[in-house]
Amino acid sequence: MFEAFVFVCMLRDPTTCQTLQDTQGPYKTEAQCVKRAYQIAVELPDWMPEYIATRYKCTEKGNIEGKINI
């Protein structure tokens, strides 16, 4: 099972960033998780218009170590 995380930064101040954790998962496959991460990025302006998605990460449930995709 995979969990999606999306790293977002403010447009006005790119040093102000935060990580969003998806609340709909976990997902059975990594491909489903990646699809959800991209969906979050597309919908982000509706919920957080001052932010932009810069990276995502799909990890096995409970394991958040490792690199983040850009």
Q: Could you report the per-residue pLDDT of 23-36, keeping only the tens digit for each?
A: 998 999 999 999 99
Specify the pLDDT at position 43. Answer: 94
Specify the pLDDT at position 14. Answer: 84
Are 64 and 5 within 8 A, CB to CB? yes
Q: Give dist(CA 52, CA 44) in Å, integer.
A: 7
Residue 70 has pLDDT above 60, yes or no: no
Tell me which of 10-14, 29-33, 59-63 is least confident: 59-63
Specify the pLDDT at position 8. Answer: 96
CA separation, residue 47 to residues 44, 50, 56, 68 (Å): 5, 9, 17, 22
Entry pTM: 0.80
Domain chopping of the chain, boundaries: 2-60
Q: Give dist(CA 34, CA 45) in Å, integer.
A: 19
Q: Give dist(CA 46, CA 16) in Å, integer.
A: 19
